[in-house]
Structure 1
Amino acid sequence: MRVLSESRLQRRFREVIFRETGIKMPETKEHLIAARLRRRLIAGNFRDLDAYLAFLFEEGGLRDEWPDILDLITTNKTDFFREAAHFDILSQGILPAALRAARPGGTVRFRFWSAAASTGAEAYTAAMLLADAAAADARLDWMILGTDISPGVVDQAGRAVYSRKEVAPVPVEMRSRYLMSGRPGRGTAQFRIVPELRRRVRFAEMNLIDPPYPVASGLDVIFLRNVLIYFDPDQQARVIAEVVNHLKPGGHFFVGHSESMVVEDPRLDQIAPAAFRRKDTDR
């Protein structure tokens, strides 16, 4: 069997990652590739990165390894109430306005999409705020969809189990309402989102660079935060355009604070740092 040189294998690996995920990994990230794939090298008893990449590309191993590669290569940083100003806009501005605009006694249908959901902290943060609003006004009928390319984090989000450190940003009064505590076998405290919230939050695998998206249109709020930074400018524009297609006129769109400058969709007006509103008409 002919084994390609290490640089050729690594270049091929970067090309596959870019083609399949939109994540651009320049040559300067070679050490990052090796570090992130180290777990797979150990699990398969490969002598070095070159041997593992040869297994992927020349021995047909890529298909079986792909889910694990996605979990290791993608950055799954997330926190409850991360970039809290966005959640303030949701709870103090968007939700009250939606309820005021509804007719008395009518149902207020509210749909939220966490488009780079990672392990679910963002979606469940929104769920806590929506549940609070619904407790105050029974007209509110809300649901949340969370999507991510990584099957591992989608599975973790669905389980909705978090460590004490992970739930630390959740206000104390919300913890009592929306978190159940327990201790697994090793004695470390863990917390799970209550069933009342889990029933209204659904997670699914989805690749942002593979439209059309299997997501409903006419959504009220979309969070697409801290993922655009991994795409090149052309891919950023395409993803934003596709995501905004699912937002209703007057709906709200949020990106990470470091991504605000890349949003140039003419259908959007900026209302706050990294926060946008879709115009009532696209004309």
Structure 2
Amino acid sequence: MTPKMFDAFSSLITDMLGIKMPVTKHTMLQSRLQKRLRRLGLKTFEAYYDFVFSTEGRQKELDHLMDAVTTNKTDFYREPRHYQVLTELVLPNVLQHGAIGTRRPLKVWSAGCSTGAEPYTLAMVLSEFGEQVKGFNFNILATDICTQVLAKGRNAVYDERDAEPIPYNARKKFLLRSKDRSRPRIRIVPELRRLVEFRRLNLMTSDYGMAEAMDIILCRNVIIYFERRTQFAVLNRLCRCLKDSGFLFMGHSETLNGFSLPLKSVASTVYQKKGPEHEK
């Protein structure tokens, strides 16, 4: 891949996905796109470059290119301290605001959900919390730009070793084990799968198409890959999708320092949206 081709692909990826693609990522990008060359039966990056930037390529290949370059690192119960904050601080606070979680479902959004470990972890934690709160109910929206990881999330089948971070009691309640022990797999139980809706969404779009605002949003270890001005734009759009007094969880390696946002810190990388009375 020539420097000119890399620059063109880098600009395209940043425009589409907001992902920073400096020249130090040249080898990584070349390696990931090599798979697309093989899949398309193309011999050179020049041929792939010409195809991507053709009218036909823009219609047929851009989604596959986006799938190839996105990072999909995820684990069950990742950053476990967040789930403690969720159950001990956030959920009791939310329940104090009228009928949320009882007369109407608690609305939670996992933005950048990857293969589904985060939304299914949320479903487990919320289900166990609901065992102690009469009538508690919730639904979870799980979004990602990558169609391949969304398909895996909907299928909800994982290698058994991926389930190791899940507490033993939760594993007993929420996981099914494959009968074929030569390929040890687990699957999330249907009762949890029904509570999670997977949807394709690009955080770079100006309108996320949310019919209702969310009570809780998790957008963890996503904006770290974006340029700073893109981070600010995405965070502003997330705030617009969050109810007043709702909560936003970010990754522990991410900071909101220097951004003017209607949020206050309530725990490490956990924020609450200020209501109108705080903005006067």
Structure 1 length normalisation: TM-score? 0.91
Which runs of 5 or more residues in structure 1 are unaligned?
none
Residue 6 (structure 1) aligned with residue 2 (structure 2): yes
Residues 123 and 30 of structure 1: CA distance in aligned 2, closer, same or farther (over 3 Å): same
Structure 1 residue ranges, 4+ long, deviating more than 6 angstroms after superposition: none
Residue 51 (structure 1) aligned with residue 47 (structure 2): yes
Displacement, 1:150? Answer: 0.9
Residue 257 (structure 1) aligned with residue 262 (structure 2): no
- Residue aligning to 1:20: 16
Residue 268 (structure 1) aligned with residue 263 (structure 2): yes
Residue 200 (structure 1) aligned with residue 195 (structure 2): yes
Residue 144 (structure 1) aligned with residue 140 (structure 2): yes
1:107 to 103, 107, 119: 103
- Residue aligning to 2:159: 163
- Identity, in percent, stands at 35
Displacement, 1:39? Answer: 1.4
- AA aligned to 1:175 is R
Aligned length: 277
Root mean square deviation of aligned Cα:
2.1
Structure 2 CA distance for aligned equivalents of residues 106 and 33 of structure 1: 47
Structure 2 CA distance for aligned equivalents of residues 257 and 248 of structure 1: 23
2:20 is paired with a residue whose SS is coil
Which runs of 5 or more residues in structure 2 are unaligned?
none
Residues 261 and 280 of structure 1: CA distance in aligned 2, closer, same or farther (over 3 Å): closer
Give matches, 1:1-283, under 5 Å: 6-58=2-54, 60-100=56-96, 102=98, 107=103, 109-183=105-179, 187-262=182-257, 264-281=259-276, 282-283=279-280
1:60 is paired with a residue whose SS is helix
Displacement, 1:100? Answer: 4.9
Structure 1 CA distance for aligned equivalents of residues 218 and 45 of structure 2: 36
Structure 2 length normalisation: TM-score? 0.91
- Are the aligned partners of 1:251 and 1:277 in contact in 2 as well (CA < 8 Å)? yes
- Are the aligned partners of 1:22 and 1:209 in contact in 2 as well (CA < 8 Å)? yes
Displacement, 1:191? Answer: 0.9
- Are the aligned partners of 1:236 and 1:262 in contact in 2 as well (CA < 8 Å)? no
2:253 is paired with a residue whose SS is helix
> 1:227-283 deviations in whole A, cap 9, x for unaligned?
111111111111001001111111110111111245724310011211111113233
Residues 132 and 263 of structure 1: CA distance in aligned 2, closer, same or farther (over 3 Å): farther
- Are the aligned partners of 2:52 and 2:62 in contact in 1 as well (CA < 8 Å)? no
